[in-house]
Amino acid sequence: MAKTYAIAIDGPAGAGKSTMAKALAKELGYHYVDTGALYRTVAYFMDLLGVSPKDADGVERYIDELNVVIEYDEEGKQHMLMNGMDVTGEIRTQDISQKASLISAHPVVREALLDMQREVARNHNVIMDGRDIGTVVLPKADVKIFLTASAEVRAQRRCDELNAKGQKSQFEQVLKEIQQRDYQDTHREIAPLKMARDSVKLDTSDLDIDGVIAAMKKIIGEKIPL
Ligand code: DC
């Protein structure tokens, strides 16, 4: 089989990982894999069952009842199937963001999702975004980028996004939620959010989308043929 290339994009919530990875995947003809959507699907499933994301025993008891599948439509958009049901839209709420962050700390959850992520990368050129892609999921990725921005900038971007969708949001509240997720995602015992040793850090606080894309293409182009 021909060599497949893997680009790992890690970083905290709201750093712009999915926006940038999606745009680059389109340009390069790569598969974009949003791994946060996997944890969100688990969180949504447990929520429907009334299992608290902090309840380790409950999560362990029901995780085997869940079948998570990633599918792509003709436009290349990723869809999440939860036991056959498309929940792509349902998992994108602030409530599920927080629950996904808590649920992702359970070893049984991370284990259940690990092979699936590696399998996609075995068969396709991928740009995969998450928290532990460069450190755990694809430690041999050809390119690793750690995308970050100050918590204030990330909160402001999230507010703008919510406002554009007509959802009223309060900067202070969004900032608090981002800081809480940063804490949870960096302090869990298994596969915490951290920069891989061979990762390139890109702070996007003072860059616009085009600036970030250009910087990322430069980093990628130094490692793999574009
Ligand atoms: O990227 P996101 O905001 O959709 O991710 C939701 C949560 O899932 C995030 O707060 C932590 C968890 N997550 C993870 O632990 N590992 C990943 N590779 C991706 C997400």
Which domains, from first to last, does the chain contain?
Answer: 6-220 (3.40.50.300)
pLDDT for the residue numbered 110: 97
pLDDT digits (tens, 9 = 90+) for 46-81: 999 999 999 999 999 999 999 999 999 998 899 999
CA of 48 to the centre of ligand 1 (A): 19
pLDDT digits (tens, 9 = 90+) for 132-166: 999 999 999 999 999 999 999 999 999 998 899 88
Q: Which atom of ligand 1 is nearest to the CA of 10?
A: 18
Task: Choose one of 34, 132, 177, 185 to mutate for the ligand 1 pocket test, by most ligand atoms within 8 angstroms of C-beta.
Answer: 185
Predicted local confidence at residue 167, as pLDDT: 83
Q: Whose CA is nearest to atom 1 of ligand 1?
A: 36
CA angle at 151 for the pair 141 and 105, rounded to the nearest 5°: 55
Is the pLDDT confidence value at 189 over 90? yes
Inform me whether the pLDDT recorded for 119 exceeds 90.
Answer: yes
pLDDT of residue 161: 87
User: What is the distance in angstroms between the CA of the first residue and the CA of the last residue of the chain?
Assistant: 20
Atom of ligand 1 nearest to the CA of 14: 3
Q: 38: CA distance to ligand 1 center in Å? A: 8
- Residue nearest ligand 1's atom 11 by CA: 101
Distance 123 CA to ligand 1 centre (A): 23
Above 80 in pLDDT, residue 26?
Answer: yes
Mean pLDDT (the chain) is: 96
Q: Which of 165, 211, 180 is nearest to 16 (CA)?
A: 211
Quickly state the pLDDT bin for 89 (edges 50, 70, 90): very high
Q: Which two tokens stand for residue 17?
A: 């990982």
Query: 194-211: per-residue pLDDT in tens?
Result: 999 999 999 999 999 999
Phi, psi angle pair for 32, to nearest 5°: -95, 125
Instruction: Quote the percentage of the chain above a pLDDT of 90.
Output: 92
Q: What is the mean pLDDT of residues 11-36?
A: 95
Whether residue 1 has pLDDT greater than 70: no
> How many Å lie between the centroid of ligand 1 and the Cα of residue 181?
9
Closest residue (by CA) to atom 15 of ligand 1? Answer: 104
What is the rounded average pLDDT of the residues 80-101? 96
HSE toward the beta carbon, residue 80, CA cutoff 13 A = 24
What the block records as the tokens of 206 is 């003072």
Phi, psi at 7, each rounded to 5°: -115, 120
Contacting residues for 6 by C-beta, under 8 A, at least 6 apart: 121, 125, 126, 128, 138, 140, 141, 142, 143
Q: 100 CA distance to ligand 1 centroid (A)? A: 7
Q: How many whole angstroms from its chain centre is CA 161?
A: 17
71's tokens: 């599918």
pLDDT grade for 95, boundaries at 50, 70 and 90: very high
- Distance between CA atoms of 172 and 170, rounded to whole angstroms? 6
From residue 109, give the alpha-carbon distance in Å to each of 8, 56, 75: 20, 10, 29
| Residue closest by Cα to atom 7 of ligand 1 | 101
Identify the DSSP state of 136.
I
d(CA 27, CA 75): 13
Least confident of 6-10, 125-129, 149-153, 164-168: 164-168
Q: What pLDDT is stored for residue 162 in this prediction?
A: 87
Distance 101 CA to ligand 1 centre (A): 6
Tell me whether strands 143-148 and 6-10 are parallel, antiparallel or unpaired. parallel
| pLDDT at residue 115, rounded to an integer | 95
Site residues for ligand 1, CB cut-off 6 Å: 13, 35-36, 39-40, 97, 100-101, 104, 130-133, 181, 185
Q: What is the Å distance from ligand 1's center to 4 Cα?
A: 24
Amino acid at 215: A
